[in-house]
Amino acid sequence: SQKIEQNSEALNIQEGKTATLTCNYTNYSPAYLQWYRQDPGRGPVFLLLIRENEKEKRKERLKVTFDTTLKQSLFHITASQPADSATYLCALEGGGNKLTFGTGTQLKVEL
Amino acid sequence: DVKVTQSSRYLVKRTGEKVFLECVQDMDHENMFWYRQDPGLGLRLIYFSYDVKMKEKGDIPEGYSVSREKKERFSLILESASTNQTSMYLCASSMVNTEAFFGQGTRLTVV
């Protein structure tokens, strides 16, 4: 069966460090993968999209990698700040425009 | 700015009631989605639509139906609400193969 796995345990890091979140998937052949941020009580907000022919994508302090052989994406936040604390979700297009999300990883950036 | 608007922020309904959740987007997006989000389970896709009058079942369609009579509006219908449908409901829209934009969510409580 198709599965998207993100680390369900919260990730706690110190301010200024790099946070790395993982998204693994099985039985998908996605044309692209997306990352979203979600704050409590709000809908997810799009951050980055990376296509299957791209290895890496950057946006300000964010970096996403996509390894279709390993079936894995890594999401990095450099120079993390307390304002980066949120839940981060990865999402895959599962065929026919169907967009499926992982369960998300909660990130806490401490002073 | 893209706007996805859900008709209610909070809703309380009785068991057995027929419930309508409305979602409107203002960017002429082809795709629209309904998800529910529960602690520990992440976002689960209920139904999605890729065109007017077209719909596809997501991962958990049981107990729900949808309607898309106009491109900008996608309605989720709970035919006979039950307590296990108490949840946060999120609507989203997107162009084909691009990022999704989410509404603010409807927190539904069925008593």
Which residue in chain A has the smallest CA separation from B57? Answer: A98
Amino acid identity of B102? Answer: F
> Tens-of-pLDDT digits for all 111 residues of chain A?
788 999 888 999 999 999 999 999 998 888 899 999 999 999 999 999 999 999 999 999 999 999 999 999 999 999 999 999 999 999 998 777 788 999 999 999 999
pLDDT for position A58:
97
Rg (CA), chain A: 13
Closest listed residue to residue A3, CA positions, set A100, A106, A105: A100
A residues 38-77 lying closer than 8 A (beta carbon) to B:
41-46, 49
Contact B35 A101 (CB under 8 A): yes
Minimal Cβ distance to B58: which of A41, A98, A104: A98
Q: Kindly state the tokens that stand for B65.
A: 């139906």
Phi, psi at residue A46, to the nearest 5°? -65, 140
